[in-house]
Each structure stands twice: as structure tokens, then as C-alpha cells.
Amino acid sequence: MMRSFLLGILGLLLWGCKQSEVVYDKPYFDFDSLINQQQHELLTTKATLTKTVSLDSAKEEISFEADSLVLGKELDVFRQLDIINKPGFKDKYKISDGEKDTRSNLTIRRYEALEKTAPVQFVLFYYQNEFSRIHKIESAYRENNTLYGTERNLLLEFDDSTGKLLLTHYRLTGVQKLILSDTIAFSIDGVFVPGIF
């Protein structure tokens, strides 16, 4: 029963996450292509997903083989970052590159919104030697409408030890305020382990 409750609340939390599929130039970074490519790689490797979901004080962990339907639902929220590429946000982000991460041997490329009202205030890409070797993406997404307000911190972590970029971990944390309801704190943590191919 608790599992159904947690999954129901999770579905409600992510209800507004579906982006419309409109084609436009992507001047900053193509998040859709990255997510599509990662879904393909995870399916090819028959990855197992261990997912931990926390809603306020309730917590649940489950493990299962990730199929295309599961991957689509799990990773769709990260497609929201693609909003920075929409025409209304063209030239609205400052890009800096070459900053050394003080906690690792990675370099940081930073995209920072020039306006405080942008839904995505920043995106940080941590990479090794060249930008195609991304190891981590961090960002935050906020949305307010008449039904709810939400703030989400997003994290994707990758491994490229096999020569291909492969998603190994994701995290989604934040709060959501539903109309006529309390604020809900949530956390979703997923770890992918490739199967035997």
C-alpha cells in the first residue's frame, strides 16, 4: 500500500514535466539527444535500475531491469532542461568554460541565466579534458503555475570508461507546493548497473 501511495504521489509530482515536442535550434546543449542516446545505451546494456524515492519522511527502494517505458518515464524530467534552447531564451545565458573543479580533476562549463525569472537558472557541465567526455551535469529547474509551484535540483552522472558515455546515476530533489495543500519535499535517486551483454 505504501508503495502505491509513493508511486502515485511521484506521478503527481512529475505530472507537469512533459515537454511539447516542438523542433527548434539548440544553441546551448541538446538535452533531448543526450537523453535519447542514454536510453538507447542503457537498453543495449540491459541495465538494472535501483531507485530510492523519498517523500517527506516516507522512503522506499526498488530494483528492476530498465525497459524503454521505464527509462522514458525516469529520464523525461531531465528533458525540461532543454527549455534553455527555446527561441525565447536565445542569448539569455552567459557561458563560461575552463573553470577547474576544486573537488576533482574535472573542468566546468557553466551556463548562467541573465534573467532571474528564467526557469533554469544554471547548468553546470563537469567534463574531463574535452567537452564530449561529460562526467556530470547539475542544474535546477523551477516552475510556478496556478496549480502548483516546484523547485527541482537535477543531477546526472556518467561513466565513459568503456569509450562510450553511459549514465550511471541520477538524482532529483526538491519541493512542490500544490494548491490548497502542504509543501512536499521529495527526492528520487537512481543508480544504473549495466547487465551482461
Q: What is the pLDDT of residues 83-116, one digit of tens each?
A: 998 888 989 999 999 999 999 999 999 999 999 9
For residue 7, the model assigns a pLDDT of: 46
Residue 10 DSSP label? H
Which H helix or E strand runs over 134?
strand 134-144
Contact 69, 88 (CB under 8 A): no
The answer to whether residue 22 sits within a structural domain is no
For residue 73, the model assigns a pLDDT of: 92
Residues of the chain where predicted confidence (pLDDT) is lower than 70? 1-25, 196-197
For residue 25, the model assigns a pLDDT of: 67
The answer to whether residue 20 sits within a structural domain is no
The reported pTM is 0.84
Q: Number of structural domains, the chain?
A: 1
The answer to whether residue 24 sits within a structural domain is no
Contact 81, 45 (CB under 8 A): no
Q: Tell me how far apart the alpha carbons of residues 120 and 93 are, in angstroms, rounded to a whole number.
A: 10
Contact 97, 110 (CB under 8 A): yes
Quote the cell numbers at residue 23: 523542433
Q: Tell me how far apart the alpha carbons of residues 123 and 137 are, in angstroms, rounded to a whole number.
A: 7
Contact 26, 82 (CB under 8 A): yes
Domain extent, residue 52, equals 2-15+29-193
For residue 197, the model assigns a pLDDT of: 52
